[in-house]
């Protein structure tokens, strides 16, 4: 068969592009990335730590809202019948003398924290700026003092306080809190070392004396350190039991820690009332810490980098 000379010659077909890799179908579920084992263990440990910390607080809170019958018949995590049952808190305030204890604690806190800030900052300023003999020995003794447990020196300390006739007065714990905080000295010292000495020299050229330099130049620059010391010292003093129990014998001088301890006497079997008193003690420190925790972290971080 002879080919038709008028027919158009066929053009070769263009090469087809390789097909694109098919993605997931529109309705198909997206594949999830597997969490690394280390990250999963980190989250798991944080979850366990959170449960360990919050579980006792939850038990105390639930118990404080229960009646005596609910505590005896139900479990520790059983829910109270009335979530607005505040009778136990009223009992804690009236029979447990918690309001008086809060007043005594506030009085001790005010003078203890104020004295610690003044004494600690002045001591740190003198150690860093002044040159005197046995300066390294003083620093070594400060370090040794932090290693000696305070309980081992309480016999001699009690004799001193008793010699000044300060036992069973609010000034006994105040003096002890003001004079035994070596940690605050180190916190202030780290911040003062970051303040240039040239500021002191310029102030001396203008006629300022040592106390004026401390009061108008050094101390205003210590605000982060002051905030850190106030928070740490305040929480430590607020929660302390040993010193108030040893030196404040009268019930009307008790702090919140000793008031809660004495509260267990007449209400030894009524855990709902004791739990209400514990919640009243916990709430102030918890609120203060949650509101001011960034000052704590920032203060330690800045002090560590000075």
pLDDT in tens, 37-47: 888 889 999 99
pLDDT on residue 1: 46
* Cβ atoms of residues 260 and 281 within 8 Å: yes
**H-helix or E-strand spanning residue 294:** helix 271-305
Q: Does the structure show a pLDDT above 90 at 155?
A: no
Mean pLDDT calculated for residue range 49-62: 91
Rounded Cα–Cα distance for residues 286 and 300 (Å): 20
Mean pLDDT calculated for residue range 261-266: 68
* Cβ atoms of residues 280 and 167 within 8 Å: no
Q: Does the structure show a pLDDT above 90 at 289?
A: no
Which of 22-31, 62-71, 116-125, 287-296: highest mean pLDDT?
Answer: 116-125
Q: Which string of DSSP letters, residue by residue, matches 220-266? A: GGGHHHHHHHHHHHHHHHHH--HHHHHH--SGGG--HHHHHHHHTTT
Mean pLDDT calculated for residue range 153-158: 86
pLDDT on residue 28: 52
Rounded Cα–Cα distance for residues 156 and 163 (Å): 11
Percent share of the chain, pLDDT over 70: 83
Q: Does the structure show a pLDDT above 90 at 273?
A: no
Which one has a higher pLDDT value, 260 or 243?
A: 243
pLDDT on residue 297: 65
Report the sign of the C-alpha dihedral through residues 30, 36, 41, 43, in that order.
negative
Which of 108-117, 123-132, 232-241: highest mean pLDDT?
Answer: 108-117
Which of 117, 134, 135 has the alpha carbon at shortest distance from 126?
135
Q: CA-CA-CA-CA torsion for 229, 235, 238, 243, nearest 10 degrees? A: -70
Q: Does the structure show a pLDDT above 70 at 206?
A: yes
Mean pLDDT calculated for residue range 125-143: 84
Mean pLDDT calculated for residue range 7-16: 50
Mean pLDDT calculated for residue range 226-248: 89
Q: Does the structure show a pLDDT above 80 at 182?
A: yes
Kindly list the domain boundaries of the chain, sorted by start residue.
88-305
Mean pLDDT calculated for residue range 173-188: 86
Q: Does the structure show a pLDDT above 50 at 240?
A: yes
CA–chain centroid gap for 75, Å, is: 31
Crossing angle (nearest 10°) for helices 271-305 and 37-64: 140
CB neighbourhood size of 1 (10 A): 3
Mean pLDDT calculated for residue range 201-227: 89
Which one has a higher pLDDT value, 293 or 84?
A: 84
Which residues have C-beta within 8 Å of that of residue 170, sequence separation ≥ 6?
104, 107, 108, 248, 253
Mean pLDDT calculated for residue range 202-225: 89
Average pLDDT, the chain: 81
Confidence at 27, pLDDT banded by 50, 70, 90: low
pLDDT on residue 150: 75
pLDDT on residue 40: 85
Q: For 88-305, give the CATH class.
A: mainly alpha
Question: Cα 80–81–83 angle (5° rounding)?
Answer: 65
């Amino acid at each position: 068969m002879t080919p038709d000379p008028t027919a158009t010659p066929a053009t070769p077909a263009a090469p087809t592009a390789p097909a694109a890799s098919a993605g997931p179908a529109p309705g198909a579920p997206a594949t999830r990335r597997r969490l690394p084992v280390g990250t999963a263990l980190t989250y798991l440990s944080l979850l366990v730590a959170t449960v360990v910390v919050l579980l006792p607080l939850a038990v105390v809170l639930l118990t404080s809202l229960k009646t005596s019958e609910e505590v005896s018949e139900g479990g520790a995590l059983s829910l109270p019948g009335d979530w607005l049952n505040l009778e136990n808190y009223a009992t804690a305030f009236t029979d447990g003398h918690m309001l008086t204890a809060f007043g005594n604690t506030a009085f001790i806190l005010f003078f203890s924290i104020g004295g610690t800030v003044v004494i600690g900052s002045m001591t740190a300023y003198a150690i860093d700026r002044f040159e005197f003999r046995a300066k390294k020995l003083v620093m070594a003794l400060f370090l040794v003092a932090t290693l000696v447990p305070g309980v081992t020196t309480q016999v001699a300390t009690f004799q001193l306080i008793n010699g000044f006739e300060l036992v069973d007065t609010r000034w006994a714990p105040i003096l002890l809190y003001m004079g035994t905080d070596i940690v605050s000295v180190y916190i202030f010292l780290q911040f003062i070392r970051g303040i240039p000495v040239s500021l002191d020299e310029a102030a001396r050229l203008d006629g300022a004396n040592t106390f004026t330099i401390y009061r108008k130049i050094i101390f205003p620059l210590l605000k982060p350190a002051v905030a850190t010391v106030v928070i740490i010292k305040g929480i430590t003093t607020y929660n302390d039991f040993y010193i108030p129990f040893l030196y404040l014998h009268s019930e009307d001088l008790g702090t919140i820690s000793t008031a809660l301890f004495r509260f267990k006497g007449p209400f030894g079997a009524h855990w709902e009332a004791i739990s209400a008193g514990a919640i009243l003690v916990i709430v102030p420190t918890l609120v203060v810490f949650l509101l001011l925790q960034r000052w704590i972290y920032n203060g330690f971080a800045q002090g560590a980098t000075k």
